[in-house]
Amino acid sequence: MEPRYARNIPALTEEECLILRNKRVLVVGCGGLGGHIIDQLARIGIGFLRVADGDVFEPSNLNRQLLSRIPLLGVSKAKAAAEHISKINPDIEAEAIEDFMTSQNVHGLTAGCDIVIDALDNIPSRRLLAAACTEDGLPYIYGAIQGWVAQAGISMPGDSLIGTLFPQEVEIQDKSVLSFTPALCASIQVSLCVKLLLGRPVDTGTIYYFDLLNYEFETIPMA
């Protein structure tokens, strides 16, 4: 067991740490949610991370995006994410895709991965990614944040989680995000990812809802 993973034990077994080392995860979006997700996946020991985002850092990202820094303004988020991974553990294979996800490239993004994590910020992209995961037979881990609120859940191939959540296009008026909300949502998404990869029990078709302003926490069945 590498010393870097010693504190994973006994919450994870040594065998489970080795399993994670051989898993491949796609994270779409390297901003508020994605930065925290990517950092946590790298630290727990996922062996391959494909990180996709066509955007660059700008000043409005500095309030919440873990990977953002003043020296990185104007730099590709995906490139910065891959470099961040290599600084945590150079043995992790990090693949940066410096493009936005489209209907033309989505199946190329998911190819060869065991699980897909949504760190997107708009409904059309989520619907596209969820549909691709269903076609490719991959688990899809949803997450969304707004202001003080976060929600996350797992959609297995054939589930209608995203369609149930977003039956029609909705224009989001409030686009505020606070510094701590992404970290909470990302932690839930990564914990769901790890449990799925290890074959531990998880609830699918369920939304975990967190309101940090009023400290309200709900588990909402969507099936």
Contact 187, 109 (CB under 8 A): no
Closest to 154 (Cα-Cα) out of 211, 204, 87, 104? 204
Q: How far apart are the first and last CA of the chain?
A: 41
Q: What is the pLDDT of residues 15-70, one digit of tens each?
A: 999 999 999 999 999 999 999 999 999 999 999 999 999 999 999 999 999 999 99
Number of domains into which the chain is organized = 1
5 in any annotated domain? no
CB neighbourhood size of 40 (10 A): 19
What does the pLDDT read at residue 158? 83
3 in any annotated domain? no
What does the pLDDT read at residue 173? 67
pTM (predicted TM-score): 0.96
What does the pLDDT read at residue 32? 96
What does the pLDDT read at residue 223? 67
56 in any annotated domain? yes
Torsion, CA 148, CA 130, CA 75, CA 57, rounded to 10: -20
205 in any annotated domain? yes
Residue type at 104?
A: Q
178 in any annotated domain? yes
Q: Which residues of the chain have pLDDT under 50?
A: none
4 in any annotated domain? no
Round to whole Å and give the CA distance between 155 and 157.
7
CB neighbourhood size of 82 (10 A): 23
What does the pLDDT read at residue 170? 66
What does the pLDDT read at residue 222? 83
Domain with 138, as residue range(s), is 11-221
Sorted by sequence, the CB contacts under 8 Å of residue 18 that are 6+ apart come out as none
Q: Which residues of 56-73 are buried (b: 16+ CB within 10 A; e: fewer)?
A: bbeeebeebbbbbeeebe
Closest to 186 (Cα-Cα) out of 23, 40, 14, 29? 40
6 in any annotated domain? no
CATH number of the domain that residue 111 is part of: 3.40.50.720
